[in-house]
Amino acid sequence: MADLQLTDDVPSAADDGVWLACIECGESFAPFADVRYTCDHCDGLLEVRYADLPTFEDFEGEGSGVWRYHDALPFDVGVTLPEGNTPLHRVPRIEDEVGVESLRVKHEGMNPTGSFKDRGMTVGVRVAKEVGVGRLACASTGNTSAALAAYGARGGMETLVLLPAGKVAAGKIAQAALHKARILEVDGNFDQCLDIVQDLAQRGEAYLLNSLNPFRLEGQKTIGLEIMEEHYADYGEYPDRIVLPVGNAGNTAALYKCFRELVKAGAITEEQVPKLTGAQAEGAAPMVEAIEEGLDETRRWEDVETRATAIRIGNPVNAPKALPGIRETGGTAVAVSDEEITEAQRDLAGEGVGVEPASAASLAGLRKLRERGVVGDDESVVCLTTGHLLKDPDAAAEAGNDPEPVANSTEAVLEHLAEN
Ligand SMILES: Cc1ncc(COP(=O)(O)O)c(C=O)c1O
Ligand SMILES: N[C@@H](CCOP(=O)(O)O)C(=O)O
């Protein structure tokens, strides 16, 4: 990592050792005095910075979940359900088949609303209270809206979600509806919904809680802290590589920030940073295109399509943070087909790990990179699975076994089992 992009200077804008910094021009801003999502001067993405960065010792005896890591966060506690402390599953049959030194699956679907977004919302909704906003809003392919609705409800706040009509899985809409969000179904795709929400936020009509909001990513970086701690406890070393599904590229940005901060704090060396490896669906792969073609920024894909609706995204807003994350850690990005995603979803389910299609892109991507010889057989790998199987019941039913009709008697059941 050539440039850690972290400074030792604490600017006058800092509040209790916390400030916002522009990743492009370096300008600093007070964290909670005003609402801002990007730099006032150059419109660059903002990042939360801290005067003091913790090491792993600082987390000892601190309980579990996102707020175990409060020393690495802007507050001691957030609006919590609680979240984090997700399992790092062993998957021995898949590990054998893929043929790597070790393979673990970090299942973020085990968060309160069934996706990693909860880690971001526990911090983001706490900040919304701090800055004193009224309505919370997001654009969503489903999971962000479910999390925002639940955490908004928990915080007693009004929530508005904009969804691409006909492209959001049933479980996610049900969650947003029952947690009392106002749901606007837009005749357009996710990226167009986000354009509108950004506009609303700019006009002061709502507080934006997509991952463009730098505080969301602070919560999400705890995925990295959990992986590092648990992997080290189990194997005595950190993973060589983390493979994750990529949509708006918030998690990639958050994990990169996590590792930069650990290096800066002296908790790990640069050589111990896992290679960040993104997986996208072939029909929505602007990050893969940018990595393969060596572009400085992603091209916006206007037409995106994939069965993995959570990552049906053509304009990843966090690309300026995530592309350096992939490059500086020595990672890569890979596109996988919907069929490969479904096969990976079935195989994970065969190990008892139930995930939604987008989540399975990580395993599908790892398989492809093994085939290509990019991932070595001596590597220890963690695949991130980002959402629960029940988020998309239709996709699960399509990928799984068909129910078999049978007459209402034990004899009929036995006969059916013997014949089929
Ligand atoms: C289940 C799931 N996986 C992966 C992603 C992609 O994450 P990111 O936008 O942080 O790249 C999303 C949402 O974008 C998601 O809902
Ligand atoms: N998959 C996401 C898309 C929005 O991502 P965000 O992290 O920027 O909120 C979703 O669930 O809506």
With respect to residue 184, please indicate whether it lies within any of the assigned structural domains.
yes
Same domain? For 294 and 394 the reply is: yes
Count of the separate structural domains present in the chain:
3
Distance 307 CA to ligand 1 centre (A): 14
159 is in an annotated binding site: no
With respect to residue 59, please indicate whether it lies within any of the assigned structural domains.
no
Same domain? For 160 and 206 the reply is: yes
With respect to residue 393, please indicate whether it lies within any of the assigned structural domains.
yes
Give the domain-ending residue among 178, 193, 216: 216
CB atoms within 10 A of CB 9: 9
Tell which atom from ligand 2 comes closest to the C-alpha of 120. Answer: 7
Ligand 2 pocket by Cβ (under 6 Å) = 117, 138, 140-144, 210-211, 247-248, 250, 310
Q: Which residue lies with its CA nearest to atom 16 of ligand 1?
A: 310
Tell which atom from ligand 1 comes closest to the C-alpha of 387. Answer: 1
Three-state secondary structure readout of the chain? CCCCCCCCCCCCCCECCEEEEECCCCCEECCCCCCCCECCCCCCEEEEEECCCCCHHHHCCCCCCHHHHHHHCCCCCCCCCCCCCCCEEECHHHHHHHCCCEEEEEEHHHCCCCECHHHHHHHHHHHHHHHCCCCEEEECCCHHHHHHHHHHHHCCCCEEEEEECCCCCHHHHHHHHHCCCEEEEECCCHHHHHHHHHHHHHCCCCEECCCCCHHHHHHHCHHHHHHHHHHHHHHCCCCCEEEEECCCCHHHHHHHHHHHHHHHHCCCCHHHCCEEEEEEECCCCHHHHHHHHCCCCCCCCCCCCCCCHHHCCCCCCCHHHHHHHHHHCCCCEEEECHHHHHHHHHHHHCCCCCECHHHHHHHHHHHHHHHCCCCCCCCEEEEEECEEHHHCHHHHHHHCCCCCCCCCCHHHHHHHHHHC
Give the domain-ending residue among 182, 216, 250: 216
Mutate which of 246, 287, 298 for ligand 1 pocket (most atoms within 8 A of beta carbon):
246
Distance 81 CA to ligand 1 centre (A): 20
- ipTM exceeding 0.85, yes/no: yes
Distance 83 CA to ligand 1 centre (A): 17
Tell which atom from ligand 2 comes closest to the C-alpha of 311. Answer: 1
Q: Which residue lies with its CA nearest to atom 11 of ligand 2?
A: 143
Q: What is the pLDDT of residue 9?
A: 85
Strands 333-336 and 275-281: parallel
Distance 131 CA to ligand 1 centre (A): 26
Q: What is the pLDDT of residue 3?
A: 42
Residue given tokens 């070790």 in the structure block: 102
114 is in an annotated binding site: no
Same domain? For 340 and 357 the reply is: yes
Same domain? For 190 and 316 the reply is: no
Same domain? For 309 and 352 the reply is: yes
- Name 134's Cβ contacts closer than 8 Å, sequence gap at least 6: 157, 158, 206, 207
250 is in an annotated binding site: yes
Same domain? For 196 and 232 the reply is: no
Same domain? For 250 and 342 the reply is: yes
279 is in an annotated binding site: no
Q: What is the pLDDT of residue 2?
A: 44
φ, ψ (nearest 5 deg) of residue 269: -95, 165
Per-residue pLDDT reduced to its tens digit, 74-86? 999 999 999 999 9
Q: What is the pLDDT of residue 6?
A: 65
251 is in an annotated binding site: yes
Same domain? For 156 and 238 the reply is: no
Amino acid at 153: A
Same domain? For 212 and 223 the reply is: no
65 is in an annotated binding site: no
The number of the ligand nearest the C-alpha atom of 138 reads 2
Q: What is the pLDDT of residue 323?
A: 98
Distance 141 CA to ligand 2 centre (A): 6
Q: What is the pTM of this model?
A: 0.97
Same domain? For 21 and 124 the reply is: no
> Per the structure block, which two tokens stand in for 374?
């990019």
124 is in an annotated binding site: no
Ligand 1 pocket by Cβ (under 6 Å) = 115, 141, 143, 211, 245-252, 310-311, 356, 358-359, 386-387
With respect to residue 57, please indicate whether it lies within any of the assigned structural domains.
no
Per-residue pLDDT reduced to its tens digit, 213-260? 999 999 999 999 999 999 999 999 999 999 999 999 999 999 999 999
Q: What is the pLDDT of residue 186?
A: 98
Give the domain-ending residue among 216, 240, 275: 216
> Per the structure block, which two tokens stand in for 290?
């940018």
Domain that holds residue 262: 88-112+217-399
Tell which atom from ligand 2 comes closest to the C-alpha of 141. Answer: 12
Question: For the chain, which residues score pLDDT lower than 70?
Answer: 1-8
Same domain? For 225 and 368 the reply is: yes
Mutate which of 105, 222, 251, 391 for ligand 1 pocket (most atoms within 8 A of beta carbon):
251
Query: Distances in Å between the alpha carbon of 76 and those of 127, 172, 226, 382?
Result: 12, 29, 17, 28
Q: What is the pLDDT of residue 7?
A: 62
With respect to residue 15, please indicate whether it lies within any of the assigned structural domains.
yes
Same domain? For 104 and 247 the reply is: yes
Yes or no: say if 319 and 249 are a contact pair by the CB < 8 Å rule.
yes
CATH of the domain at 349: 3.40.50.1100
